[in-house]
């Protein structure tokens, strides 16, 4: 009788632990992944914003991101370049942060500005497959520099 109750308790604990692990592992995927054109203003939803840093990003981004005011920059939609959103971010800034760099940042819209969560900024680097295409003599996308100084058109 005693071993049966121990087994039941162990089974309940294992089920609770498994449920907690599933809940925490899918937690990041519950955020809506969108671009600037897909943002809904002030709806309280947490978004993972994907886009490109617009020209004019501050050169002292890491310093500004540590200030009380935060780092302010504009992100444009990759497919609809005229669609932009201002982002306010605080936290560490990746070394690759620069104009025209693709980024992903998590946060929410507040009064027409995307307020990013602290430490959520990620920069995406051009794919190694793009460089392989350039080596094979294929055209690179505009603005991307390939081997031997080849650029896209």
- pTM, two decimal places: 0.64
Beta strands in 23-152 (DSSP E): 32-34, 47-53, 71-76, 84-89, 102-110, 113-116, 122-124
Architecture of the domain spanning 31-124: Beta Barrel (2.40)
- For the chain, residues with pLDDT lower than 70 are 1, 26-31, 127-153
Q: What is the pLDDT of residue 131?
A: 57
Q: What is the pLDDT of residue 148?
A: 44
């Amino acid at each position: 009788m005693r071993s049966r109750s121990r087994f039941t308790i162990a089974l309940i604990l294992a089920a609770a632990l498994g449920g907690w692990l599933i809940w925490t592992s899918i937690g990041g995927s519950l955020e809506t992944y969108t671009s600037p054109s897909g943002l809904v203003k002030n709806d309280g939803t947490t978004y993972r914003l994907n886009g490109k840093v617009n020209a004019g990003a501050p050169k002292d981004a890491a310093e500004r991101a540590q200030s009380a005011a935060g780092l302010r920059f504009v992100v444009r939609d990759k497919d609809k370049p005229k669609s932009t959103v201002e982002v306010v971010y605080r936290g560490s800034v990746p070394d690759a942060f620069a104009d025209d760099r693709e980024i992903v940042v998590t946060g929410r819209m507040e009064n027409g500005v995307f307020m990013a969560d602290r430490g959520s900024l990620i920069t995406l680097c051009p794919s190694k497959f793009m460089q392989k295409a350039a080596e094979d003599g294929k055209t690179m996308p505009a603005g991307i520099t390939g081997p031997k100084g080849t650029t896209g058109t």
